Amino acid sequence: MEPGTGAKQFAKEYYGVTNEIDIITVLQKLNYEGLHSISVDNRMKKCVYCGYYWRDDSLRNTKKTCCEECHRGKKTLQRRKQRADKALTNPNKRTQKDDYISWLDYPFWIGESSMENVTANYEVSYSIDHIDYIYTKNRIYGEGNRKRVTENIDYDEMDYD
């Protein structure tokens, strides 16, 4: 990973290097040799995201990352880990419907008790004949059970033009 802005800034200030390659070389050397090779104070630390040494100039010396980009990168990783942990420890609750394997050519149930429970509670619609019967009754009697006048259409007499 490339050093963050904070780490690069540190290399520029402490080693007087200016070009990109020198900066990275200096920082990699420091990572290899460790902090004992230079004079340090308690503000020297390794960025938890990019992994290079930098110096924390913040007021309370509590920063963990060398720059804003590294801070965002660290947060993104944290969120990803949290989501993964949540999915592992708290998977969606299985229901009896999940025992029905419906995505194959021949769907089947894994458990017989699940099948009985789910299919018994299934809301079955009326048959076409029954719906027809209800519809006709409603047309004749309507609301309040009062019989309406129904017209009898004589289809033989109708003019279809």
Query: Of the candidates 105, 100, 92, which has an alpha carbon nearest to the alpha carbon of residue 117?
Result: 100
CB of 20 to Zn ion, least distance (A): 15
* Residue number, nearest CB to Zn ion: 4
CB of 5 to Zn ion, least distance (A): 8
Give the separation between CA 49 and CA 63, rounded to whole angstroms.
Answer: 12
SS3 state of residue 95: coil
Q: Which residue lies nearer to Zn ion by CB, 17 or 46?
A: 46
Contact footprint for Zn ion (CB under 5 A): 4, 47, 49-50, 66, 70
Q: Which residue lies nearer to Zn ion by CB, 23 or 47?
A: 47
Q: Please count the other Cβ atoms lying within 10 Å of the Cβ belonging to residue 35.
A: 13
Q: Which residue lies nearer to Zn ion by CB, 5 or 114?
A: 5
CB of 78 to Zn ion, least distance (A): 15
Q: Which residue lies nearer to Zn ion by CB, 68 or 85?
A: 68
CB of 119 to Zn ion, least distance (A): 59
Give the separation between CA 43 and CA 17, rounded to whole angstroms.
Answer: 21
The 8-class DSSP code of residue 160 comes to -
Phi, psi of 80 (to 5 degrees): -60, -40
